[in-house]
């Protein structure tokens, strides 16, 4: 099983959710996050003074899926989150050793 993590633009979350669901993923966790990539930060002005905000608002999306589904999920996220401008974010895949559904104590793919 794999953990797919993606850091995307906040206004793209809904599209990502719909696309990932359509790809067959059963669950997803999102976190409000801040970060920088190639774009760097941005400027805000308060009382005439400029402040550099290094970290830009992002949403971190995490979902666990079976090995067969990974490519479809990545494809779905990439298509949904892309705006073709800098700061579209990144996604990565990590191996998962073990998954347990807490209520039923089911293990492995059945837990998803």
Q: Which residues bind other proteins (CB under 8 A)?
A: 43-51
Name the one residue in this structure whose structure tokens are 């774009």. Answer: 39
Closest CB 56 distance from other proteins, rounded Å: 15
Closest CB 81 distance from other proteins, rounded Å: 29
Q: By C-beta, is 55 or 92 nearer to other proteins?
A: 55
| CA separation for the pair 36, 101 (Å, rounded) | 34
Cα distances from 11 to residues 21, 26, 67, 103, in angstroms, run 17, 22, 28, 33
Q: By C-beta, is 38 or 47 nearer to other proteins?
A: 47
Q: By C-beta, is 40 or 108 nearer to other proteins?
A: 40
Closest CB 51 distance from other proteins, rounded Å: 5
Distance of CA 35 to the CA centre of its chain: 13
């Amino acid at each position: 099983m794999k953990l797919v993590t993606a850091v995307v633009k906040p206004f793209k979350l809904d599209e990502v959710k719909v696309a990932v669901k359509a790809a067959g993923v059963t669950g997803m966790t999102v976190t409000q996050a801040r970060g920088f990539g190639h774009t760097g930060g941005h400027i805000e002005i308060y009382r005439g003074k400029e402040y550099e905000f290094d970290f830009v608002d992002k949403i971190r999306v995490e979902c666990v899926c079976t090995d067969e589904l990974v490519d479809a999920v990545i494809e779905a996220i990439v298509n949904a989150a892309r705006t073709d401008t800098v700061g579209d974010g990144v996604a990565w895949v990590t191996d998962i050793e073990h998954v347990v559904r807490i209520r039923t104590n089911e293990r492995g793919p059945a837990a998803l």
